[in-house]
Homo-oligomer: A and B are copies of this chain.
């Protein structure tokens, strides 16, 4: 199998390294050697010095997509512009493609899946979601006999690293982010990660794969982790929860599929709450298999390369997937209609009589039931934190009550609300 590699960054470099490192093993698993015959990089000189000049290097991905001696194109350049052109060109030339580009597939995937389907060409993207964790294969093959009820993922290692650092008392959000950047767990510009966009791309793809939701990225509820502070983590801990950025796709029999990325409280005792540091995990609830969890490295050159090369081996063995008919089977539930098992709500209130009565009065009017309340004793002068767990309800209803509560004179600053996931 002769590979044309587009992109020689972290993951591209990992693919080059892995194909060299386990050359014989991979050849025996694939039934034939897998070799990179041409590679495109923005800076060819740097790529040569890093990865050797025995590869045919070019700056132009078009050469790769068109090359007669390239059997499969591996797109690892990232972005949604040229990467799209590259995949379409390769598919147009009848070449199977492998990509790790979740942004492209989630935002412009309809066109790419459709073209691959029309052309009868393999389009593989195991590496696009949760790095080394084989969640695409688990959903499309291992659990193929199951109707999937829900997918709950920790799909962004940067966010999980920051949240677990804060949990361990290693500092504020900003301090933990800076540490993650120093250690290479966060990008210089962390917006896509800490803003939840990256996880949302992934859950959008998983929803399509497992439940047939349309690739309509704008309909995914996305909330990042910037709002979480150490106090939230500490209150959550007191109440028996941990905070993780969860990406959720959940089937509701009546209204469709809920797609959401949100900082979420989950029970300390649940195995998903033990997923620490930069690791990823995906919990899948299905009708026959029950609860399944896959856990592993969600990013990094070699772990992601492991997924890319497994796709290449699948193609070599004739196990590659041609996308099927893309007609969506399920609609995405509109944001206000999405429900959570319960909600964590925290606000800073004046330490004076009558506050709890006004807050709980608004909740009662909105039909929201209160599960538990924590208010620490204050000195009567400084505002104090009021934390509540609210019972199952719709986001729309909870957020409108938050707005009303925020307007109370005794409430200072923003009222925060995060959902609670119990896996029940």
A133 close to B (CB within 8 Å):
yes
User: When each residue 285-307 of chain A gets 1 if its CB lies under 8 Å from chain B and 0 otherwise, what string results?
Assistant: 01111111111110010110111
Chain B residue at minimal CB-CB distance from A138: B134
- Shortest C-beta distance, A271 to chain B (Å), equals 5
Question: Which B residues are CB-close (under 8 A) to A287?
Answer: 21-22, 302
User: How many copies of this kind of chain does the complex include?
Assistant: 2
Q: Could you tell me which residues of chain A, from 21 to 69, have a CB within 8 Å of some CB in chain B? A: 21-22, 25-26, 29-30
Picked from B30, B132, B289, B318, the residue with its CB within 8 Å of the CB of A297 is B289
- Shortest C-beta distance, A284 to chain B (Å), equals 9
Q: Are A292 and B133 in contact (CB under 8 A)?
A: yes
Q: A138-B134, A142-B137, A295-B271 are in contact. Are A288 and B147 (CB under 8 A)?
A: no
Question: Which B residues are CB-close (under 8 A) to A318?
Answer: 318-319
A126 close to B (CB within 8 Å):
yes
A146 close to B (CB within 8 Å):
yes
A313 close to B (CB within 8 Å):
yes
- Shortest C-beta distance, A258 to chain B (Å), equals 20
Q: Could you tell me which residues of chain A, from 313 to 370, have a CB within 8 Å of some CB in chain B? A: 313-314, 318-319
Picked from B126, B271, B275, B302, the residue with its CB within 8 Å of the CB of A275 is B271
Q: Are B29 and A145 in contact (CB under 8 A)?
A: yes
Q: Are A309 and B145 in contact (CB under 8 A)?
A: yes
Question: Which B residues are CB-close (under 8 A) to A18?
Answer: 145, 288
A239 close to B (CB within 8 Å):
no
Q: Which of A18, A21, A289, A297 has the most CB of B within 10 A?
A: A289
Apart from A26-B145, A141-B314, A271-B275: 6 A-B pairs, beta carbons within 8 A:
A29-B144, A144-B313, A146-B306, A288-B302, A289-B302, A289-B307
Which 8 A-B pairs have CB atoms at the shortest separation, nearest pair first?
A: A134-B142, A145-B309, A132-B289, A292-B296, A293-B295, A289-B306, A288-B306, A29-B144
